[in-house]
Amino acid sequence: MPTAQRVMLITGASAGIGRATSIHLSQTFPSPSHPEQLVLILVGRRQTELEQTAKQCKEGTITEVATGDAAKEEDVDRICRKIKEKYGRLDLVFNNAGINEKSPGEFEDQDMAIFRKVLDINIMSAVLFTKAAFNIMKLQEPQGGRIINNGSISASSPRPNNTAYTVSKHAVHGLTKSTSLDGRKYHITATQLDIGNASTSMGNHVQSGSIQADGSKKVEPTMHVDNVAKTVAFVAGLDRDADIFSLEIIATGMPYIGRG
C-alpha cells in the first residue's frame, strides 16, 4: 500500500522567506500528528536557486522544483496540473511570492508601469494559486487544505511613499477573507501572516534607515527569517479542527504600534 503523502507548495521558494520556510518545513514534517511523507513543491522563476533550496531541505523529503512565473495563469495551471496528475492532492499553499519595487519620489510622481508590476505579482500570484488550489482541495480525500498568504504590516499600517506595495497587501487581506469564507464549505482555511522587518534582501533596507511618517530617517530592527519559517510551520501543523485567520510577527522594537 503506497505511503500517504502531504503535499505543500511554496511560491517564491528560491530565496528569503520562501527558502527558509521550505527548509524548516522539511525539518518539521513528518511529525507525530502529521506522519505522512512530506512533498514540497518549490515554485519560483530561478531554477538554479530553487535547486539550491531543494538541496538544503532535510534528506528524505520529496522536493519538486517547479520553475515558472507565479503571476502567469498558464504557468500556474501547468504547475498545479502536474501536481494533481502526480500526487493527486495539495494540502497546503504558502503564497509567498512578491516584490516591493519603488520608483523614486512622492506618490504623485510614481511610475505606473512599476506600480502595475507590483500589483500584478503581489496580488495575482496569490489569486491564481488560490484558485488552482481550490480546484484540487475540494475534490481530494479528505477534503480541504490550508492556504497561507504572506501579507505585511503594510496591510494595516503603510510606510511613506510605498503606495503600490501597501495597496497590494490590502488586496491580499481581502483575498484572505474571501478565501476563508468561500473555502468554508470545502474545509479550506486561509491564514494571513503579516510580517514586519524580516531580515531578507527585500527587508534589509530598514537597517540603513527607513523614512518615517514625520519625514525623518530611522534605523529599524530586523528579525531572523527563521522566525517567519517557524510561524508558517506552526500553522501548517495545526489539526484540521483548528484555524488561524490572522497572525502578525514583527522584529522586536520595530515602529509599528504607534507608527507615525
CA dihedral 98, 86, 143, 65 (to 10 degrees): -20
Phi, psi of 76 (to 5 degrees): -65, -45
Q: How many CB atoms lie within 10 A of CB 86?
A: 11
pLDDT at 1: 34
Q: What domains are defined for the chain?
A: 5-250 (3.40.50.720)
pLDDT at 256: 83
Calpha distance 13→10 (Å, rounded)? 6
Digits of tens for pLDDT over the chain (260 positions)? 357 999 999 999 999 999 999 999 999 999 999 999 999 999 999 999 999 999 999 999 999 999 999 999 999 999 999 999 999 999 999 999 999 988 777 888 889 999 999 999 999 999 999 999 999 999 999 999 999 999 999 998 888 888 999 999 999 999 999 999 999 999 999 999 999 999 987 666 777 778 788 888 888 899 999 999 999 999 999 999 999 999 999 999 988 876 65
pTM of this structure: 0.94
pLDDT at 104: 73
Q: Of 130, 102, 122, which Cα lies nearest the Cα of 171?
A: 122
pLDDT at 202: 67
